Amino acid sequence: MILCGDFFYRGRITDCCVKIENGIIVDVKKDMKGKRVKGVVMPAGIDVHVHFRDFRESYKETIESGSLSALYGGVCLVVDQPNTDPPILDAETYFRRMETAGKKTYVDYSLNLGLTEDNVDEIDEILRIVEEKHYVPAIGEVFLKGKMKVGYDVLKKARCKVEKLITVHAEENDDERSEVRAVEKCLRIGKFHFCHISTAEALTLIYNSNSTSEVTPHHLIFSNRDIKYKVNPPLRDGKVRVELVKRFWMADILASDHAPHTIEEKMDGAPGFPGVETLYPMFFYMVKKGYVKMRDLVEKFVENPAKIFGFKRYGEIDIGKYANFAVFDPKMEKPIKARDLHSKVNWTIYENLMAIFPRDVYIRGEKVLEDRELLIDRGFGNVL
């Protein structure tokens, strides 16, 4: 198959043709004949931080509904987190989760392994058993507070036992200095990937180390005066938010931290927001308006996620990569409405913000979304 059109190729929009065999790009040229794709062909996104719930929390999200939401947002691959109910702390539960994903997921699916004080002594052996069958992107997100809390001694022990990427939720409590202190302590232990950083000071510390960082749309867009619902880490005041935006260029990864709860749970203080479907569309709109550079968006939502988390053949549009595309029509801008989204919780903090949703999506060379119509069944996605 050969597709021709305006592809984001090697840092810029290029009118060219892409030859695809067995789901993989084998050639990119200007002088081939093929089917013309209307719109801007972007590499499909990789969201390395989602919570697809399921198991005992299937009433508010499932791998099926979460992955469908991801697909409609132009995402081809997700990294699910292990703080499920029950949590993913052993090989048996990991395998059960992946078996469920294999039957339900619309997009390609991967899963982190959880770390607690109870499994740290066996974490290397659990990882060895799991990776006989599956690719584990990381151990994480490791919590320094809450139900799955570990101490710095446990984190240090895990860092010594495995070479695998470890992702950390760097908070001891809710105040701004807490994030900075946690990052400083973790950096003294070793190399980590820091989830959803919310302050410019912490982001700068990570940027000047050999560790990597991740930021979310909600910390970049909203202050604690805009949104009163709880999230971890909390939304900051306007000045802190603006400083984070100014240093967006320092962040390695942009991720949604898609964390759905029912509206009743939110009213009771459950932390987290859904967002896997709206991230790419909102930021593509920002690219159109000149607020964000297209190169930065692709780097932080496609290229770096693939490199940092070790996803072979995923990433930018180039020879040897999977043909994973999200096709955007820049004229199709519209306000976000919860009623149009596909998460089970049916609400969003981004209601009425402008976005450009992908019209077509390809995963491994197969068109899975055409004119916003679904062309595949659940279970289409690969489990890594």
Active-site positions read 257
* Cβ contacts of 128 within 8 Å, gap of 6 or more: none
Instruction: Give CA–CA dist 149/129, Å, rounded.
Output: 24
In degrees, to the nearest 5, what angle opens at C-alpha 76 toward C-alphas 86 and 18? 160
Task: Tell me the two tokens of residue 254.
Answer: 């942009």
Q: Which of 335, 306, 299, 336 is nearest to 320 (CA)?
A: 306
Look at the block and give the residue holding tokens 């050969």. Answer: 2
Beta strands in 180-332 (DSSP E): 193-194, 212-215, 253-254, 325-328
Task: Tell me the two tokens of residue 293.
Answer: 């550079």
Q: Which of 261, 286, 344, 251 is nearest to 48 (CA)?
A: 251
Q: Which of 90, 2, 57, 9 is nearest to 316 (CA)?
A: 9
Instruction: Give CA–CA dist 18/1, Å, rounded.
Output: 8
